[in-house]
Amino acid sequence: MTTQSSHRSISLSRDSAGRFTATNTRGGTLSFGSGADDDFTPVELLLTAIAGCSAIDVDILTSRRSEPDTFRVTAEGEKLRDEQGNHMGPITVTFEVTFPQGEAGDQARTVLPDAARQSHERLCTVSRTVMLPTELTTTVATG
């Protein structure tokens, strides 16, 4: 039996002005930038992480019953700048999922709302972290 560590980490390297590559511990990479081109920005990655985390939860819980015909998720909100600094306002995650006709599709449609609720209320680590007070520390190592 393989035990998976609960520790998560990424490393970031600067590729050029306003462009970076993140690397996970498994060697996967993701490039992103400041918004000067069509690469994702950090805020778009946050929305992607929230939607992606919930999508995985909902997919696991519904596809046990039926494979979806369509499965789309959007995450959106306004980027604010106010007395609290820069931050996102309320974020809305919307699922647009269809299943084939028949008993299996009916079962998947029935569990879909509860699957989305469970993801929001307890399963999705990303959205739960955003919603809960989470300590974040920034340090600077000089060399």
Mean pLDDT of the chain: 96
pLDDT reported for residue 1 = 56
Its pTM stands at 0.92
What is the tens place of the pLDDT at every residue in 26-68?
999 999 999 999 999 999 999 999 999 999 999 999 999 999 9
Name the pairing type of β-strands 19-24 and 29-33: antiparallel
Report the CATH number of the 41-131 domain: 3.30.300.20
Contact between residue 13 and residue 21 where contact means Cβ atoms under 8 Å apart: yes
- Which residue type sits at 133? P
Domain-by-domain residue ranges, the chain? 10-40, 41-131
